[in-house]
Structure 1
Amino acid sequence: MSALPVAGDPAAPTAEDRAERQLLDACFLGPYGENDGLLEKLVVEFLRDHVYWRRNFHPEDPPAIPTGAATLPGYRDFEARMRRELHQLSAALKKSVPFHSPRYLGHMVSDLLLPGLVAQILALPYNPNNVSDDAAPVTVDMEVQVGLQLARMLGYPDDPARADCAFGHLTSGGTVANYQALRLALALKAFPVALRAAGVPELPAVAGGARDDHWRGDDWSAFNLGPRAGIELLVRWQAWLATLDRDARRHWRARVQAQRIEQLGLAGFFTRHLQLRVPVVLAPITAHYSWSKGLKLLGLGRDQLQLLPERGMRLDTDALEASLAECARQRQPVLLAVAVLGTTEYGTIDPVDAVVDARERWQAQGLGFGVHVDAAWGGYLATLFRNADGSLRPLQDIRREYRQFPQPEVHAAFAALGRSDSITVDPHKLGYLPYGAGAFVCRDHRAMALLAEDADYVFHTAAEADYLARYRHLGRYIPEGSKAGAAAAAVYVTHKVLPLDHAHFGRLPRQTVLAAEAFHLRAQRFATEVAGLAQALVPFAPDSNLVCLALNPAGNTEVARANAFVRTLHDELRCDPAQPLQLKQFFGSVTTLRPEALGAAETQRLLAAIGLDPATLDRGQVDGDDRLLILRHTLMNPYLVDHENGISYIDLYFEHLTRRVRALLAS
């Protein structure tokens, strides 16, 4: 039996540890289906409740399906066919990836939280469509509340009574949330230019706001106001319109609408404003491919995505500064600077604080742009940094619970989230909720007015002063039309059962970070154990709960051979639908260390540490071996250390890996 890894001293858990474990034991169906009775009881209870609701809608209406229908041949034939297809589906699904198991260390998915799973099942028969409250009077409100719950977790204003309250909504995933970030940033950047082109007169300052009419100077100044000044200008425009009579209001709305980028399209807008260039997006080279897709989708073009190098697998702030300086010199507008809070490949945390500081510096010099944080992976780690009242936990308080987490720069990044302009976060990743439930959150909801789309048959066109009333017509603001209200119910209920602070939901990511620290320690021991056979290295200490492992057969200097060795290992760790799942001891994934991401010095250091010759990267360009293949481990499952049975699946994994390394190198 494997020894338990040390994190504090899990072999002798404290009373707090035991209380945390009891909470976790109630959260999931469990690796062995241990909570099947609870799940079955809840599903049956609420299915019956749904049936009672149907029967009591208009109890005077008689049953439309006759009592004896189930005995008739046509009914029985349909039931038989349905059962046959469902049994075949059930059999086919047994080839699915066992995300629920602590033997799964692959991609960003794990077991599902029972509150969310049951809430989604419960809501499905009602089939709410969250396009508006006409189609989903209950779950639309839940989705708006989810946006506020996430805003609080991320450090944004979450009080709807505040004029600058945040706003968030669900999407199918982080990709669509990133598209929404691009849409909003472009609308906000171009709006002052439209006001100027329409000949809107000087606007009075709103109460408590600063007067700043640089937008009237020239197109460049208008295009570079920056998000917060742009929002204030929008508010001033709306306040000025309210003072006009109906005909004048209609006149000025039409004039401005005719000049907006949403009306003209990119070609029309930039043809009218020849001194402006299509803006660029600055993102780290580790950014998700959705940014490339989004720029193509919006018609901005893939060439407008400038990928910046990394330093220690975090965004290189010197490179960001140099790129911004060059943009200012070339009069090249910048739409967004993107920071990643938990990269897909490595889980590393970009310096969000440095990026928002850069925004403020360059805004003062006339180069305005927004800051978006792609926290699709790491967003829910913010619960570790939040008290119940939404305040930030001090670094020293958090560090007492871990070996090394969080590093000061990681704490600074999370502390700066509230200063960004918008954030992507995925409840279906570290929120442990069913696909697809991504989310987009912007810091100031007033900017969303620029995305409003009116469809008379769905939406009320009258202006809504009340925050919640306005966003009940979600379809006006979101990329999708129809969207599942059941997903909103799942997220909302989960957040109510497990509030988004360190004492509640934070207990889940706490387990994953402890597991990552234990995994890192065990990987170092593994490197010693296989030293005569292979060289092993964790390329960089984990910022979150992803840990990578580089491997190279002893004596080998060729990157191509090291990659072939890791590919063979991965072939035994990946899902193969042609084989029974039970033949796999563990499931894992791979990623690559790219020289263009690491930089020359860091690449040379890492390759040398495992005995590889950097020159062989150049020789591998033809065969795709111009980067180093490494094993990637996502440590989400809360039962990686099973205290009940005294099993460490982390130890079992490294024992398995040791056997496979020995067997492969002996053959």
Structure 2
Amino acid sequence: MSIDTETHPALDACFLGPYGENDSLLEKLVVEFLRDHVYWRRNFHPEDPPAIPTSAAHHPDYQAFEARLRRELHQLSAALKKSVPFHSPRYLGHMVSDLLIPGLAAQMLTLPYNPNNVSEDAAPVTVDLEVQVGLQLARMLGYPHDPARQDCAFGHLTSGGTLANYQALRLALALKAFPVALRAAKVPEIGVPDDDESAFNLAPAAAIGLLGRWQAWLALQAAPARRRWQAAVAAERLEQHGLARFFARHPQLRTPVVLAPVTAHYSWSKGVKLLGLGRGQLRLLPERGMRLDLAALEETLADCLRQRQPVLLAVAVLGTTEYGTVDPVDGVADARDRYAARGLGFSVHVDGAWGGYLASLFRQPDGGLRSLDAVREGFRAFPAAEVHAAFGAIARTDSVTVDPHKLGYLPYGSGAFVCRDNRAMALLTEEADYVFHAASADDYLTRFRSLGQFIPEGSKPGASAAAAYVTHKVLPLDYANFGRLQAQTILAAEAFQMRAERFAQDMQPRLRVLVPFAPDSNLVCLALNPAGNTDIGVANAFLRKLHGVLRCDPSQPLQLKEFFGSITSLRQDAVGEDGMHRILRALGLDPSTASDCAEDRLLILRHTLMNPYVIDRHNGISYIDLYFQFLARTVDHFLAKAEMPCVRPSPCEEGSREALG
């Protein structure tokens, strides 16, 4: 089945729309289910009389309260008109767009019930929905998703990708340290490694297997012995001692490092600090072509093996925040397997906060992986073979971060953490008798109804779970359903790149233009430099000036902005020396000016093509064309008015025709 080049009619019902076209649909849904909620309240115990008399509405105090309420709400509504118009196809900035009506309506429907997904006591319905959302996401990612399977995946929602990344670190550390606790407690007969270093370096699958044998062995013990062994192991766990005391008790062990690409989200730096590992334990690896350099990963792992330096986690990014590029997940998983065989076990986590939902394009309705040729049908170049391999390899990783509030088009804040094997989650369990109740270890759904035992948060909104669950039911996470929406964003990105090529040709006499690297997803960057300028500082000043026209300005009427965009930067440590020099040469910039002007990076425009109506085929409007026309007018205005620092003349114009390289 090919991808439609026009917006699918079913998608036209998915959003409120740039013009509020589906206002009547959303209004009907909100009114219908608000009334339904009121009927539910009235029928809870219909014998109970109304506590608020009808006459209250006529009391002066009631009317004064209503007047204050309306005044404040009107003021809030007026203030919110200064918000960024994420719904508009003129918004090309950050990773946010219009909201899907199924999720928006489900969240609004659920809010008056106010479920708290800490446990089934506070959310008997939405806790189950959240567990189901985890299974829906697991299926999209290629993880085992049948609760009857012992190794079924498990996922839960978070406030965002940052907290999901924290959970990945937390689980990986618990899994790494647990075998050492079993050794310290002298648990017999279950195959605990002979020394602490071997125990600390087990592969995740081996550690989960050891955990399962421990649980099975424990179940065979008489109750008094079972309690003694449980207490003995608990007393030796890292979570009991803390990092400092744990490593003091095991002096042959070193604090593990986390390996991540240099373009990784800043949440990883925050996470290692929060966990107590320290920022020094986060090693940022160089990239090649804006993707994790596998040679650098191999060299680092070989060095860790020689130095007997444990590795906690290797991170692969599925759509970087700045550039939307996809790391070689398959290569990282291969490296994990090779080094596990050599005694250096570590987990692999995929940070798919941005690109996670693109996995729906790679999935058949039955959950199978689509072939490269099948996915490519209907696109100009997407996906590259390397990108297809990366998405196919997610199934082999240990955990994934996904953000429903990004390419899932759901309200903030809704992130998600999914681990490949639910059995590992037992290591994160917290006890609280007033909230959690004993659950059958054999029943998947029952066990995870006490969500608060396993997750970083305590209280958490059940409305977010309802929004995600309903959205995934209305638009299943495969290429024929949710994937249609993702396909529109890829088509828009490809159209944007083609239009950028034409823009480069049109502007060539006065501006050098470069798409610095082919996009892996629906995020396209653009580098600009006035013709004749060789100074990186001048080019950056020009970009800052241009971004001033594209960024949100609450002091100005919203309608004065024709388009909204964002900027990011290219750094040599991310691009590599050769890649950086290639980009600078194509733009006519002199690399030596970086030190002259204290600029260690090149600013570039960043465009997120999320809105499915950025190409409005119904009205024959391309907002991509309009954007580049706007960009040309703005650049010409700056150049004509000399509203930029003076430029140094280029010694030669060689390579100007290679601007799009």
| Pairwise same-fold verdict (TM > 0.5) | yes
CA drift of 1:590 comes to 0.2
Is the aligned partner of 1:471 residue 2:441?
A: no
For the structure 1 residues 620 and 92, does the alpha-carbon distance in structure 2 shift closer, same or farther, using more than 3 Å as the test? same
Counterparts in 2 of 1:350-499, with a 5 A limit? 350-499=327-476
- Corresponding residue of 1:660: 634
CA distance in 2, matches of 1:649, 1:174: 30
Supply the AA of the counterpart residue of 2:639: L
Instruction: Identify the residue that residue 140 of structure 2 maps to in structure 1.
Output: 153
Kindly indicate whether residue 35 of structure 2 is the aligned counterpart of residue 61 of structure 1. no
One-letter amino acid of the counterpart of residue 554, structure 1: A
Alignment of 1:77 onto 2:64: yes
Indicate the residue corresponding to 1:173 in structure 2: 160
Please say if 1:579 is aligned against 2:564. Answer: no
Q: Tell me how far 1:215 sits from its aligned partner.
A: 4.1
For residue 627 of structure 1, what is the aligned residue in structure 2? 601
Q: Counterparts of 2:86 and 2:6 in 1: how far apart (Å)? A: 25
Match 2:535 to one of 548, 558, 561: 558
In the TM superposition, 1:224-623 aligns within 5 A as 224-621=201-598
Given that 2:7 and 2:488 are in contact with CA atoms closer than 8 Å, whether structure 1 keeps it comes out as no
CA contact (8 A) 2:347 2:398 kept: yes
Call closer, same or farther: CA 1:431–1:249 in 2, change over 3 Å: same
User: Shift of the alpha carbon at 1:462?
Assistant: 4.7
Structure 2 stretches lacking a partner, 5+ long = 642-661
Q: Distance in 2 between matches of 1:316 and 1:270?
A: 32
State the partner residue of 2:653.
none
1:140 to 116, 124, 127: 127
- TM-score, structure 1 normalization: 0.95
**Residue aligned with 1:17, SS:** coil
- Corresponding letter in the other structure for 1:226: A
Shift of 1:380: 0.3
Seen in structure 2, the aligned counterparts of structure 1 residues 493 and 639 have a Cα distance that, compared at 3 Å, is same
Aligned to 1:651: 625
Amino acid aligned to 2:148: A
**Cα deviation 1:449-470 (Å, max 9, x = unaligned):** 0000010000013543200000
Q: Which residue, out of 16, 22, 26, partners 1:35?
A: 22
- For the residues of structure 1 that align with 2:245 and 2:219, how far apart are their CA atoms? 29
| 2: CA distance, partners of 1:641 / 1:386 | 25
Kindly indicate whether the alpha-carbon contact (under 8 Å) linking 1:102 and 1:637 is maintained by their aligned counterparts in 2: yes
Deviation at 1:551, TM superposition (A): 0.3
Determine the C-alpha separation between the residues in 2 that align with 1:555 and 1:631: 20
Read off the aligned partner of 2:220 and give its amino acid letter.
Answer: T
Pick which of 19-28 and 418-427 moved more.
Answer: 19-28
Three-state SS of the structure 1 residue aligned to 2:4 is helix
- Tell whether the 8 Å contact from 1:372 to 1:420 is kept in structure 2 after alignment: yes
1 CA distance for matches of 2:261 and 2:618? 42
Unmatched runs of 5 consecutive residues or more in structure 1:
1-13, 204-213
Rounded Cα–Cα distance in structure 1 between residues aligned with 2:414 and 2:435? 23
What is the RMSD of the two structures over their aligned residues, measured on CA atoms?
Answer: 1.1
Q: Secondary structure at the match of 1:74?
A: helix
Judging changes above 3 Å, is the alpha-carbon distance between structure 1 residues 619 and 18 closer, same or farther for their aligned structure 2 residues? closer
Matched residue type, 1:567: R
Offset, 1:74 = 1.0
| Amino acid in structure 1 at the alignment position of 2:388 | H
Instruction: Determine helix, strand or coil for the equivalent of 1:550.
Output: strand
Which residue identity is paired with 1:415? Answer: G
- Aligned residue number for residue 88 of structure 1: 75
What secondary structure is seen at the aligned counterpart in 2 of 1:168?
Answer: strand
The CA distance in 1 between the partners of 2:597 and 2:531, in whole Å, is 20
- Check the 8 A contact 1:215/1:225 in 2, yes or no: no
Q: Secondary structure at the match of 1:593?
A: strand
Partner AA of 2:279 in structure 1: R
3-state SS in 1 of match to 2:488: helix
Query: What SS does the corresponding residue of 2:529 show, helix, strand or coil?
Result: strand
| Cα distance in structure 1, aligned partners of 2:4 and 2:158 | 35
After superposition, the C-alpha distances for 1:127-164 in whole angstroms (9 at most, x for unaligned) are 00000000000000000000000000000000000000
1:187 lines up with 2:164 in the alignment: no
In the TM superposition, residue 15 of structure 1 has moved relative to its aligned partner by: 11
Describe the shift of the 1:215–1:323 C-alpha distance in structure 2 as closer, same or farther (beyond 3 A). farther
Confirm or deny that 1:162 pairs with 2:149: yes
Equivalent position amino acid for 1:651 in 2: D
- Determine which of 128, 135, 145 is the counterpart of 2:115: 128
* Structure 1 residue 202 displacement after superposition: 2.1
Partner Cα separation in structure 2 for residue 564 and residue 581 of structure 1: 25
Among 595, 604, 612, the residue aligned to 1:638: 612
C-alpha displacement at 1:379, in angstroms? 0.3
Residue by residue over 1:46-65, the C-alpha shift from the partner in whole angstroms, topping out at 9 and shown as x without a partner, is 00000000000000000000
Q: Bigger shift: 215-224 or 562-571?
A: 215-224
Could you tell me whether the CA contact under 8 Å between 2:6 and 2:617 is conserved in 1?
Answer: no
Pick closer, same or farther for the CA change 1:549–1:322 going to 2, 3 Å: same
Q: Within 2, Cα distance between the matches of 1:523 and 1:237?
A: 59
Cα separation, 2, equivalents of 1:261 and 1:363: 22
Question: Is the CA contact 1:166–1:441 (under 8 Å) kept in the aligned structure 2?
Answer: yes
Separation in 2, partners of 1:346, 1:287: 11
Please give the per-residue CA displacement for 1:297-326, whole angstroms capped at 9, x wherever unaligned: 000000000000000000000000000001
* Partner Cα separation in structure 2 for residue 344 and residue 16 of structure 1: 26
Q: How far is 1:283 from its partner?
A: 0.2
- 512 and 462 in structure 1: CA distance in 2 versus 1, 3 angstrom threshold: closer
Instruction: Report the residue type matching 1:660 in the other structure.
Output: T
CA apart distance, 1:20: 4.6
Distance 1:403 1:221 in 2: 49
Q: Is the 8 A contact 1:428 1:438 kept in 2?
A: yes
Measured after TM superposition, the shift of residue 23 of structure 1 is 1.2
Number of matched pairs: 641
Asked if the contact 1:215/1:221 (under 8 Å) is kept, the reply is no
Report what 1:210 is aligned to.
none
User: Is the 2:2–2:377 contact (alpha carbons within 8 Å) kept by the matching residues of 1?
Assistant: no
The one-letter code matched in structure 1 to 2:238 is I
